[in-house]
Amino acid sequence: MSTVNNSTDSGLYIRPHGDRVPFVQVLVGIFLYVNSLMIFTFLKKEVFREDTRYILFAQTLFSDSVLLVISDLALLGIYYEYPIPMIPCCILCTLMNWLNDCTPLTLVAMCLERYVAICMPLRHADISNSRNRKIGILIIWTVSSMTSLIGIFGFLAVNPSHILLSYVLCTVEVLLTFTWQAQLRAVLLQIYFFCMIVIIVFTYIKILMAARAASSDNKKSTYKSLRTVALHAFQLFLCLVQLLTPYVEIAVMKIDFMLFVDVRYANFVVFIIVPRCLSPLIYGLRDEKFFLVLKHHTLFGLPKVVSAVFDARQCNKTRRLHTDS
């Protein structure tokens, strides 16, 4: 039974090139700024807070933002070679795994919501009620926690208690002491993603059939939902590829160590940051209703103020013309 990671001197602890960390900080900063604006927009409008579609979207923004903050802190800790106590590291790694699994499940729930809205419009209000929303969100967080809880309990079971008093450079590989732990997590995640892919393919086919049968008035809305499901499928694909990246990294490390550094950095940007930038694009920019409110808050209500000033001037001008006549 071989060891995956049992030392802070492991090759998995890579100090990135100096010019890469600032670039990642810029990407993360932009991501967090956009997400903060969108969460603020969601909270400001009651119509969004009562719509299942936007509630799931807000949940995705929240979980992705927290995940990016924790992952970025871990990256900075590795870059500056700053070890932390094992217990806080275990908590952070468990949170990272939990939040990382939460996003794909939320994407599946969003696809199911679009399926109900398009294929069962008469039952949409009954199915997407407040009680079912709470149950659905609880299921998402419960199911997504399973692999992370199995991981932390497995780590505590196979390691001596004194290891909790040690200091480590914190990465998720810290919890994978033995090969079987990594293999077990991979199997569980593959089962998750297989089920998710089946559900997304099912919803895509059903919405496609509804789009072809829809009247001309409803075709635009239906095809827009179809494109939304397709984008969610692409997000899920990136998340699925992320499962394979550790195996690719290990294989590359045996060939060329510096190439391994480049591959790990590319994987972080492409499969951690990029998929989480797609949710703001799908709902924040493509959804007209949300985009109008978002633009208002982004520009601090300036267009509305300018319009009000312009209307006031036009009103004064009209009054003067009436007075002169």
Q: Tell me the per-residue pLDDT of 198-249, one tens digit each, with 9 for 90 and over.
A: 888 888 888 888 877 766 666 677 777 777 778 777 877 777 777 677 667 7
Say whether 132 sits in a helix, a strand or coil. helix
Residue 11's pLDDT band (cuts 50, 70, 90): very low
Nearest to 204 by CA among 284, 118, 276: 118
What's the pLDDT score for residue 9?
37
Cβ-count burial of 234 within 10 angstroms (0-12 exposed, 13-18 middle, 19+ buried)?
middle
Nearest-Å Rg of the Cα atoms of the chain is: 24
Domains of the chain: 19-300 (1.20.1070.10)
CA angle 113, 139, 200 (to 5 degrees): 40
Query: Which pLDDT tens digit goes with each residue over 84-142?
Result: 999 999 999 999 889 988 888 998 898 888 888 888 888 888 888 889 999 999 999 99
Nearest to 298 by CA among 54, 34, 44, 64: 34
| Separation CA 47–CA 280 (nearest Å) | 18
pTM metric for this prediction: 0.79
Residue 284's pLDDT band (cuts 50, 70, 90): low
Q: Which residue has the higher pLDDT, 206 or 310?
A: 206
Q: Which residue has the higher pLDDT, 171 or 145?
A: 145
| Separation CA 16–CA 110 (nearest Å) | 36
| Separation CA 142–CA 260 (nearest Å) | 34
Tokens of 276: 């989480």
Average pLDDT over residues 76-89: 86
Nearest to 171 by CA among 79, 235, 105: 79
**At which residue do the structure tokens 């969003």 appear?**
110
